[in-house]
Structure 1
Amino acid sequence: MSKITHIKLDNFTSFAGLDQAFSQGVNVIIGANGTGKTHLLKVLYAACAVTVGEDKDKGFALKLRSVFNPHEGRMGRLARRQSTSVKTKAVVTREGGVKLAAEFSNHTNKPEDVKVTGEASWKKEELASAYIRSRKCWPTRQASWPRQPSGKLPLKKSMWTSSSVPSSPS
């Protein structure tokens, strides 16, 4: 199974421009509220989802619309807001240089009007994704984590062991 290696967003939601390569291992995304962390993950998820399962028959543009749920389903609502007309582009690259791209403007209404390129070659190999809801996990686990004598949680992750961090309840 291949991995996503790069993402480029131009005038997409909160991004005026993002050109980001990913490392081979784990990538951590950190930022203040409203900076686009979730939007970045949604684009990556949509790119993965169209290669597997029930979404394999969906196109990338349709999957973007269902993931972001823009007002009245209008794709143009995903364009970064400006006082003038704006062109938007999202490009996801995987190992081997295979690219999946979606281009549209703030005037685009339907997913069928989005120019998607590279979709046929993108779908030739599955890309699996996983979504871990940290907000749901934190309160459950936090109460059971080992605490310092002051009652505070330890600051170093190295203090946690597999036996001291319980699995989340089913």
Structure 2
Amino acid sequence: MIIKRIKLENFTVFTNVKIDFDHGINIFIGENGTGKTHLLKVLYSACQCADPKISFPYKIVSVMLPDDYNISRLISRKQGNPRASVRVTAADELQDFPENKLLTAGFCEKTSKWNADVTGEHTWEAAFKGASSIFIPAKEILSNSYNLNAAVEKNNVRFKLLLQ
């Protein structure tokens, strides 16, 4: 699966943002509270929806953990923002001519729990069946860093740790 684009409207700290990703590694840089982790959590939620047992809005709620597990709490708290939407576009890198797939979730202030309006879920599941992903928040890496050096020495992790 190659994530091509994400578009967020009235979602958490984002009023209206569209990010087109390059093939390969993309890096998010910004000050605290600007939404870097929110972007990663939404992308992780979308990747997890390759599994038909997990709905996109349910995964967003279980990853973002809004108050009362209510997706409507993720709407930007600015005047006049009654509705939010999340759109993720991806393609299957194993196809010769990959066709973009779109997964969307829309919700308003009255949406209860994770009952958002979703489109593209069935084609997303069919296209990316068996895809796997992992999200490890930076806080968890830093809080467990004393064990990270030992894990690297025992070849229990797949990256190099550079200590200075």
Q: TM-score scaled to structure 2, two decimals? A: 0.77
Which residue matches 2:69?
Answer: 73
**Equivalent in 113, 118, 121 of residue 120 of structure 2:** 118
Question: How far is the alpha carbon of 1:132 from its aligned partner?
Answer: 3.8
The answer on whether the counterparts of 2:75 and 2:81 sit within 8 Å (CA) in structure 1 is no
Q: Which one of the candidate residues 90, 98, 103 is aligned to 2:101? A: 98
In terms of Rg, which structure is larger?
1
Q: What SS does structure 1 have at the residue aligned with 2:44?
A: helix
Quick check: 1:78–1:106 contact (8 Å CA) kept in 2? Answer: no
Q: List gaps (5 residues or longer) in structure 2.
A: 92-98, 150-159
User: Could you say if the C-alpha distance between residues 74 and 43 of structure 1 is closer, same or farther in structure 2, counting changes exceeding 3 Å?
Assistant: same
1:57 aligns with 2:53: yes
Unaligned runs of 5+ in 1: 144-161
CA–CA distance in structure 1, aligned partners of residues 36 and 123 of structure 2 = 27
Q: Tell me how large the CA RMSD over aligned residues is.
A: 2.4
User: Equivalents in 2 of 1:69, 1:136: separation in Å?
Assistant: 16
- Three-state SS of the structure 1 residue aligned to 2:87 is strand
The alignment partner of 1:72 has SS state of: helix
Change (3 A) 1:71 1:121: same
Does residue 135 of structure 2 align to residue 131 of structure 1? Answer: yes
Query: How many equivalent pairs are there?
Result: 143
Q: CA deviation at 1:66?
A: 0.9
Distance 1:59 1:9 in 2: 18
1:156 is matched with none
3-state SS of 1:80 partner: coil
1:19 aligns to 2:14 (yes or no) = no
Range with bigger deviation, 131-140 or 66-75? 131-140
CA distance in 1: counterparts of 2:140 and 2:111, whole angstroms? 36
Q: Percent identity?
A: 35
